[in-house]
Structures are given as structure tokens and as C-alpha cells.
Amino acid sequence: MIPFSHMDVNAINAFVDNNLWLMLALTLWTLPWKGVALWKAVKREDKWWFIAMLVLNTVAILEIIYIFFIAKRPKKIAPTF
């Protein structure tokens, strides 16, 4: 079973062609948020957050949550014995 039909691909292409300014605006909005969030995740060694933000495109929603809520929490340090 093919997940997308030929008609779905044509509809997506038509949407992108008709809304180039929207696509550009979303890209310009998302890239700085993603860059800062990924940088903070690397500094905090949050491997799973880094992978999630790298793979998922949430139009910067996940990145903003990470920057303002997750990254501000103190990092838990595992006890050493």
C-alpha cells in the first residue's frame, strides 16, 4: 500500500507553488529557533531532545518550549558512588 497517492503529491505541490511567501516566512521563522534550541540541547547534553528537534518539524513550537521551559531547568546530575 502506497501512503500517498499521486493526487496527494499534486495537491502538496500546488499548495507550495501557490504559497511561496508563506513557505519562505515559515522557513525564516523556524531556522533561528531550531538553531538556538539545538545549540542549547548540545550544551546540556540532552541527546533525545536534540534528536527530536532535529527530526520533527513543528514550526518552532517544540523548539520554543525547549528554550523557555526545558533548558531553563537545572540539569539533574546522576549520583556517583
Helix (H, G, I), strand (E, B) or coil at 33: helix
Q: Check pLDDT > 70 for residue 6.
A: no
pLDDT in tens, 14-71: 998 999 999 999 999 999 999 999 999 999 999 999 999 999 999 999 999 999 999 9
Place of cell 533548558: 71
* 5 or 39, greater pLDDT: 39
pLDDT in tens, 70-81: 999 887 777 777
Q: In the structure, what pLDDT confidence band is assigned to residue 4 with cuts at 50, 70 and 90? A: low
The ranges assigned to domains in the chain are 29-72
Place of cell 493526487: 7
